[in-house]
Amino acid sequence: MEATPSPDILSAELRQSLSRRFENIVVFSGAGLSADSGIPTFRSGENGLWSEFNPADLATPDAWKANKALVWGWYEWRRGLILKAQPNPGHLAIAQLQSTLNANAITQNVDDLHERAGVRDVLHLHGSMFEPRCAICGLSHSFAQSPPDAPLREITPPQCPSCKGAVRPGVVWFGEQLSRAVMGRAERMIAACDLLLVVGTSGVVYPAAGLVAHAPRTATAVEINPAATQQSGRTDYVVRMSASQALPAVVGLLTQHG
Ligand code: BJW
Ligand code: ZN
Protein backbone atom coordinates (compact mmCIF):
# COMPACT_ATOMS: atom_id res chain seq x y z
CA MET A 1 0.00 0.00 0.00
CA GLU A 2 1.22 3.53 -0.82
CA ALA A 3 2.06 5.73 2.15
CA THR A 4 -0.20 8.75 2.68
CA PRO A 5 1.64 11.86 1.48
CA SER A 6 2.89 13.88 4.42
CA PRO A 7 1.43 17.38 4.95
CA ASP A 8 5.06 18.53 4.58
CA ILE A 9 4.59 18.46 0.80
CA LEU A 10 2.35 21.55 1.27
CA SER A 11 3.78 25.04 1.73
CA ALA A 12 4.35 26.22 5.29
CA GLU A 13 1.95 29.12 4.66
CA LEU A 14 -0.86 26.77 3.60
CA ARG A 15 -0.17 24.37 6.46
CA GLN A 16 -0.44 27.29 8.87
CA SER A 17 -3.71 28.42 7.33
CA LEU A 18 -5.23 24.94 7.46
CA SER A 19 -4.13 24.24 11.00
CA ARG A 20 -7.41 25.37 12.54
CA ARG A 21 -10.84 23.83 12.84
CA PHE A 22 -13.19 24.39 9.85
CA GLU A 23 -16.93 23.90 10.24
CA ASN A 24 -18.22 23.96 6.64
CA ILE A 25 -15.87 22.42 4.12
CA VAL A 26 -16.84 22.11 0.45
CA VAL A 27 -14.87 20.20 -2.19
CA PHE A 28 -15.69 21.45 -5.69
CA SER A 29 -14.20 19.17 -8.32
CA GLY A 30 -13.73 18.68 -12.04
CA ALA A 31 -12.32 16.12 -14.41
CA GLY A 32 -8.75 16.42 -13.02
CA LEU A 33 -9.89 14.63 -9.85
CA SER A 34 -10.54 11.47 -11.86
CA ALA A 35 -7.50 11.85 -14.16
CA ASP A 36 -5.33 9.70 -11.89
CA SER A 37 -7.98 6.97 -12.15
CA GLY A 38 -7.33 6.91 -15.90
CA ILE A 39 -10.45 8.81 -16.98
CA PRO A 40 -9.54 11.43 -19.60
CA THR A 41 -10.20 15.09 -18.82
CA PHE A 42 -11.75 17.40 -21.42
CA ARG A 43 -9.09 20.04 -21.85
CA SER A 44 -5.74 18.88 -20.40
CA GLY A 45 -3.13 19.02 -23.13
CA GLU A 46 -3.13 16.35 -25.81
CA ASN A 47 -4.96 13.78 -23.71
CA GLY A 48 -8.12 15.85 -23.26
CA LEU A 49 -11.29 14.49 -24.90
CA TRP A 50 -11.84 17.78 -26.72
CA SER A 51 -8.47 17.54 -28.47
CA GLU A 52 -9.56 14.26 -30.09
CA PHE A 53 -13.33 14.75 -30.38
CA ASN A 54 -15.41 17.78 -31.34
CA PRO A 55 -17.91 18.67 -28.58
CA ALA A 56 -20.24 20.16 -31.21
CA ASP A 57 -20.63 16.67 -32.74
CA LEU A 58 -21.08 14.79 -29.47
CA ALA A 59 -22.13 16.92 -26.51
CA THR A 60 -24.91 19.26 -27.66
CA PRO A 61 -28.66 18.89 -28.33
CA ASP A 62 -27.93 19.50 -32.05
CA ALA A 63 -25.45 16.62 -32.12
CA TRP A 64 -28.11 14.37 -30.61
CA LYS A 65 -30.65 15.47 -33.20
CA ALA A 66 -28.16 14.89 -36.03
CA ASN A 67 -26.89 11.41 -35.06
CA LYS A 68 -28.27 9.73 -31.94
CA ALA A 69 -26.36 6.49 -32.56
CA LEU A 70 -22.99 8.30 -32.76
CA VAL A 71 -23.66 10.22 -29.55
CA TRP A 72 -25.02 7.16 -27.68
CA GLY A 73 -22.06 5.01 -28.86
CA TRP A 74 -19.55 7.63 -27.67
CA TYR A 75 -21.14 7.89 -24.25
CA GLU A 76 -21.30 4.09 -24.01
CA TRP A 77 -17.55 3.96 -24.72
CA ARG A 78 -16.95 6.50 -21.96
CA ARG A 79 -19.18 4.51 -19.57
CA GLY A 80 -16.90 1.53 -20.26
CA LEU A 81 -13.80 3.57 -19.32
CA ILE A 82 -15.45 4.56 -16.05
CA LEU A 83 -16.55 1.02 -15.23
CA LYS A 84 -12.93 -0.14 -15.57
CA ALA A 85 -11.58 2.70 -13.40
CA GLN A 86 -11.18 2.75 -9.62
CA PRO A 87 -11.41 5.68 -7.21
CA ASN A 88 -7.97 7.16 -6.52
CA PRO A 89 -6.50 8.50 -3.24
CA GLY A 90 -8.10 11.91 -4.02
CA HIS A 91 -11.64 10.46 -3.99
CA LEU A 92 -10.83 8.41 -0.88
CA ALA A 93 -9.52 11.52 0.89
CA ILE A 94 -12.81 13.34 0.18
CA ALA A 95 -14.69 10.39 1.72
CA GLN A 96 -12.48 10.59 4.80
CA LEU A 97 -13.01 14.34 5.04
CA GLN A 98 -16.76 13.84 4.88
CA SER A 99 -16.83 11.11 7.49
CA THR A 100 -14.67 13.04 9.96
CA LEU A 101 -15.63 16.68 9.29
CA ASN A 102 -18.94 16.47 7.40
CA ALA A 103 -17.57 17.99 4.20
CA ASN A 104 -19.86 18.43 1.17
CA ALA A 105 -18.92 17.39 -2.36
CA ILE A 106 -19.98 19.28 -5.48
CA THR A 107 -18.67 17.91 -8.77
CA GLN A 108 -18.89 18.60 -12.48
CA ASN A 109 -17.92 14.97 -13.08
CA VAL A 110 -20.40 12.53 -14.57
CA ASP A 111 -18.54 9.44 -13.28
CA ASP A 112 -19.43 7.60 -10.06
CA LEU A 113 -15.98 7.50 -8.47
CA HIS A 114 -16.92 9.73 -5.51
CA GLU A 115 -19.76 7.35 -4.68
CA ARG A 116 -17.58 4.27 -5.12
CA ALA A 117 -15.04 5.84 -2.74
CA GLY A 118 -17.84 6.21 -0.16
CA VAL A 119 -18.70 9.93 -0.54
CA ARG A 120 -22.42 10.54 0.17
CA ASP A 121 -24.88 13.10 -1.25
CA VAL A 122 -22.62 14.20 -4.11
CA LEU A 123 -24.07 17.12 -6.08
CA HIS A 124 -23.51 16.29 -9.76
CA LEU A 125 -23.84 19.64 -11.56
CA HIS A 126 -23.53 18.10 -15.04
CA GLY A 127 -25.56 14.97 -14.37
CA SER A 128 -24.42 11.37 -14.33
CA MET A 129 -23.33 8.83 -16.89
CA PHE A 130 -25.32 6.26 -14.90
CA GLU A 131 -28.73 7.95 -15.07
CA PRO A 132 -29.85 7.66 -18.70
CA ARG A 133 -33.41 8.76 -19.39
CA CYS A 134 -35.93 8.99 -22.21
CA ALA A 135 -35.21 12.14 -24.23
CA ILE A 136 -38.98 12.68 -24.66
CA CYS A 137 -40.79 11.72 -21.44
CA GLY A 138 -37.85 11.59 -19.02
CA LEU A 139 -38.46 7.99 -17.85
CA SER A 140 -35.27 6.60 -16.34
CA HIS A 141 -33.62 3.63 -17.91
CA SER A 142 -31.10 0.95 -16.92
CA PHE A 143 -28.28 -0.32 -19.08
CA ALA A 144 -28.64 -3.75 -20.68
CA GLN A 145 -25.65 -3.87 -23.04
CA SER A 146 -21.94 -3.99 -22.29
CA PRO A 147 -20.12 -0.88 -23.47
CA PRO A 148 -18.00 -0.97 -26.67
CA ASP A 149 -14.24 -0.56 -26.52
CA ALA A 150 -14.05 1.84 -29.49
CA PRO A 151 -15.17 5.47 -29.16
CA LEU A 152 -16.93 6.17 -32.43
CA ARG A 153 -19.02 3.06 -32.94
CA GLU A 154 -22.61 3.98 -33.80
CA ILE A 155 -25.01 2.24 -31.41
CA THR A 156 -28.76 2.77 -31.67
CA PRO A 157 -29.95 4.06 -28.30
CA PRO A 158 -32.51 1.95 -26.43
CA GLN A 159 -36.18 2.78 -26.94
CA CYS A 160 -38.33 4.05 -24.09
CA PRO A 161 -40.89 1.33 -23.20
CA SER A 162 -43.47 3.99 -22.36
CA CYS A 163 -43.38 6.50 -25.25
CA LYS A 164 -40.99 4.86 -27.76
CA GLY A 165 -38.66 7.88 -27.57
CA ALA A 166 -34.88 7.41 -27.67
CA VAL A 167 -33.01 7.02 -24.39
CA ARG A 168 -30.27 9.67 -23.94
CA PRO A 169 -27.30 10.04 -21.59
CA GLY A 170 -28.25 11.66 -18.26
CA VAL A 171 -25.68 14.43 -18.61
CA VAL A 172 -25.89 18.18 -19.23
CA TRP A 173 -24.78 19.15 -22.72
CA PHE A 174 -23.57 22.57 -23.89
CA GLY A 175 -26.57 24.85 -24.33
CA GLU A 176 -28.68 22.91 -21.79
CA GLN A 177 -29.76 24.28 -18.43
CA LEU A 178 -28.30 22.78 -15.28
CA SER A 179 -30.90 21.59 -12.75
CA ARG A 180 -32.04 24.70 -10.86
CA ALA A 181 -32.45 22.67 -7.67
CA VAL A 182 -28.92 21.26 -7.87
CA MET A 183 -27.40 24.65 -8.75
CA GLY A 184 -29.33 26.32 -5.91
CA ARG A 185 -28.06 23.78 -3.39
CA ALA A 186 -24.50 24.20 -4.67
CA GLU A 187 -24.69 28.00 -4.41
CA ARG A 188 -26.03 27.82 -0.84
CA MET A 189 -23.39 25.29 0.21
CA ILE A 190 -20.56 27.42 -1.14
CA ALA A 191 -22.04 30.63 0.31
CA ALA A 192 -21.99 28.97 3.75
CA CYS A 193 -18.51 27.44 3.57
CA ASP A 194 -15.44 28.43 5.54
CA LEU A 195 -13.07 26.28 3.45
CA LEU A 196 -13.42 25.67 -0.28
CA LEU A 197 -11.17 23.16 -2.07
CA VAL A 198 -11.30 23.69 -5.85
CA VAL A 199 -9.89 20.50 -7.34
CA GLY A 200 -8.99 19.57 -10.93
CA THR A 201 -11.14 21.97 -12.90
CA SER A 202 -10.11 24.38 -15.66
CA GLY A 203 -12.85 26.80 -14.58
CA VAL A 204 -13.94 27.65 -18.11
CA VAL A 205 -17.43 26.12 -18.19
CA TYR A 206 -20.26 28.25 -16.84
CA PRO A 207 -22.38 28.46 -14.76
CA ALA A 208 -20.36 25.90 -12.73
CA ALA A 209 -17.17 27.99 -12.87
CA GLY A 210 -19.02 30.96 -11.36
CA LEU A 211 -19.73 29.03 -8.15
CA VAL A 212 -16.33 29.86 -6.65
CA ALA A 213 -17.36 33.52 -6.54
CA HIS A 214 -20.17 32.59 -4.10
CA ALA A 215 -17.65 31.76 -1.35
CA PRO A 216 -17.68 34.33 1.47
CA ARG A 217 -14.69 36.69 1.61
CA THR A 218 -13.86 35.26 5.01
CA ALA A 219 -13.61 31.70 3.66
CA THR A 220 -10.28 30.13 2.77
CA ALA A 221 -10.18 28.94 -0.85
CA VAL A 222 -7.51 26.54 -2.11
CA GLU A 223 -7.00 25.39 -5.69
CA ILE A 224 -5.48 21.93 -6.23
CA ASN A 225 -4.38 21.58 -9.84
CA PRO A 226 -1.01 20.86 -11.48
CA ALA A 227 -1.65 23.68 -14.00
CA ALA A 228 -2.71 27.32 -13.73
CA THR A 229 -6.42 27.87 -14.47
CA GLN A 230 -9.09 30.52 -14.71
CA GLN A 231 -9.79 29.88 -11.01
CA SER A 232 -6.21 30.38 -9.82
CA GLY A 233 -6.59 34.12 -9.25
CA ARG A 234 -9.81 33.56 -7.31
CA THR A 235 -8.37 31.34 -4.57
CA ASP A 236 -6.19 32.27 -1.59
CA TYR A 237 -3.77 29.40 -2.17
CA VAL A 238 -2.75 27.23 -5.10
CA VAL A 239 -1.30 23.73 -4.77
CA ARG A 240 0.39 22.76 -8.03
CA MET A 241 0.09 19.00 -7.62
CA SER A 242 -2.21 16.24 -8.71
CA ALA A 243 -5.38 15.70 -6.68
CA SER A 244 -4.34 12.16 -5.73
CA GLN A 245 -1.18 13.52 -4.16
CA ALA A 246 -2.37 16.78 -2.61
CA LEU A 247 -5.83 15.85 -1.30
CA PRO A 248 -4.61 13.10 1.09
CA ALA A 249 -2.03 15.55 2.48
CA VAL A 250 -4.61 18.35 2.90
CA VAL A 251 -7.14 15.99 4.46
CA GLY A 252 -4.48 14.52 6.76
CA LEU A 253 -3.82 18.02 8.06
CA LEU A 254 -7.48 19.01 8.41
CA THR A 255 -8.52 15.84 10.19
CA GLN A 256 -5.76 16.18 12.81
CA HIS A 257 -8.17 18.62 14.44
CA GLY A 258 -11.29 16.52 13.77
C1 BJW B 1 -5.66 17.71 -12.70
C2 BJW B 1 -5.04 16.51 -12.84
C3 BJW B 1 -4.78 15.82 -11.67
C4 BJW B 1 -5.28 17.24 -14.79
N5 BJW B 1 -5.15 16.35 -10.50
N6 BJW B 1 -6.03 18.23 -11.53
C7 BJW B 1 -20.45 32.52 -20.41
C8 BJW B 1 -19.52 32.83 -21.39
C9 BJW B 1 -19.36 32.02 -22.52
C10 BJW B 1 -20.13 30.86 -22.70
C11 BJW B 1 -21.02 30.56 -21.72
C12 BJW B 1 -21.19 31.38 -20.61
N13 BJW B 1 -22.15 30.83 -19.82
C14 BJW B 1 -22.57 29.67 -20.39
C15 BJW B 1 -21.90 29.50 -21.56
C16 BJW B 1 -22.06 28.36 -22.50
C17 BJW B 1 -21.44 27.09 -21.99
C18 BJW B 1 -20.00 27.36 -21.59
O19 BJW B 1 -19.64 27.51 -20.43
N20 BJW B 1 -19.09 27.38 -22.56
C21 BJW B 1 -17.67 27.64 -22.28
C22 BJW B 1 -16.83 26.43 -22.73
C23 BJW B 1 -17.26 28.91 -22.95
N24 BJW B 1 -22.20 26.55 -20.88
C25 BJW B 1 -23.30 25.82 -21.08
O26 BJW B 1 -23.73 25.59 -22.19
C27 BJW B 1 -23.99 25.29 -19.84
N28 BJW B 1 -25.36 25.58 -19.86
C29 BJW B 1 -25.82 26.82 -19.80
O30 BJW B 1 -25.08 27.78 -19.71
O31 BJW B 1 -27.18 26.91 -19.79
C32 BJW B 1 -27.78 28.20 -19.81
C33 BJW B 1 -28.45 28.43 -21.12
C34 BJW B 1 -29.01 27.38 -21.82
C35 BJW B 1 -29.66 27.62 -23.01
C36 BJW B 1 -29.72 28.91 -23.50
C37 BJW B 1 -29.16 29.96 -22.78
C38 BJW B 1 -28.53 29.71 -21.58
C39 BJW B 1 -23.89 23.77 -19.80
C40 BJW B 1 -22.50 23.29 -19.66
C41 BJW B 1 -22.46 21.76 -19.70
C42 BJW B 1 -21.03 21.24 -19.73
N43 BJW B 1 -21.03 19.89 -20.12
C44 BJW B 1 -19.79 19.17 -20.12
C45 BJW B 1 -20.07 17.77 -20.70
C46 BJW B 1 -20.87 16.94 -19.70
C47 BJW B 1 -21.25 15.63 -20.26
C48 BJW B 1 -20.06 14.81 -20.65
O49 BJW B 1 -19.28 14.40 -19.79
O50 BJW B 1 -19.90 14.59 -21.85
O51 BJW B 1 -19.28 19.07 -18.79
S52 BJW B 1 -18.46 19.98 -21.00
C53 BJW B 1 -17.19 19.43 -19.92
O54 BJW B 1 -16.59 20.58 -19.28
C55 BJW B 1 -17.89 18.64 -18.79
C56 BJW B 1 -17.18 19.14 -17.58
O57 BJW B 1 -17.95 18.89 -16.41
C58 BJW B 1 -16.96 20.58 -17.88
C59 BJW B 1 -15.87 21.23 -17.06
O60 BJW B 1 -14.64 20.64 -17.31
P61 BJW B 1 -13.60 20.40 -16.13
O62 BJW B 1 -14.15 19.43 -15.17
O63 BJW B 1 -13.14 21.69 -15.60
O64 BJW B 1 -12.43 19.62 -16.91
P65 BJW B 1 -11.29 20.22 -17.87
O66 BJW B 1 -10.84 19.11 -18.72
O67 BJW B 1 -11.69 21.47 -18.51
O68 BJW B 1 -10.13 20.59 -16.84
C69 BJW B 1 -9.43 19.58 -16.14
C70 BJW B 1 -8.46 20.25 -15.19
O71 BJW B 1 -7.87 19.22 -14.40
C72 BJW B 1 -7.34 21.02 -15.86
O73 BJW B 1 -7.25 22.30 -15.26
C74 BJW B 1 -6.09 20.20 -15.53
O75 BJW B 1 -4.93 20.99 -15.32
C76 BJW B 1 -6.50 19.51 -14.27
N77 BJW B 1 -5.83 18.25 -14.01
N78 BJW B 1 -4.81 16.30 -14.22
C79 BJW B 1 -5.76 17.58 -10.51
N80 BJW B 1 -4.14 14.63 -11.72
ZN1 ZN C 1 -40.35 8.05 -23.00
pLDDT digit string, tens, across residues 40-80: 999 987 789 999 899 999 999 999 999 999 999 999 999 99
Ligand 1, CB cutoff 6 Å, lining residues = 30-32, 35-36, 41-44, 48, 59, 108, 110, 126, 171-172, 174-177, 200-202, 204-207, 225-227, 229, 242-243
Using CA positions, which residue lies closest to atom 62 of ligand 1?
A: 30
User: Is 234 a residue whose pLDDT tops 70?
Assistant: yes
Q: CA 130 to CA 137: how far, in whole Å?
A: 18
Distance 160 CA to ligand 2 centre (A): 5
Single out the residue of 14, 15, 24 nearest to residue 196, CA to CA.
Answer: 24
- Ligand 1 pocket test, candidate residues 9, 206, 239, 240, most atoms within 8 A of CB: 206
Distance 100 CA to ligand 2 centre (A): 42
Q: What is the pLDDT of residues 139-186, one digit of tens each?
A: 999 988 899 988 988 999 999 999 999 999 999 999 999 999 999 999
Is 257 annotated in the active site?
Answer: no
Q: Which of the residues 91, 126, 141, 257 is marked catalytic?
A: 126
Q: Is 100 left (phi over 0), alpha (psi -120 to 50) or beta?
A: alpha
pTM metric for this prediction: 0.96
Secondary structure class of 106 (helix, strand, coil): strand
User: Is 12 a residue whose pLDDT tops 80?
Assistant: yes
CB-facing half-sphere around the CA of 59: CA atoms within 13 A: 16
Ligand minimally distant from the alpha carbon of residue 127: 1
Distance 167 CA to ligand 2 centre (A): 8
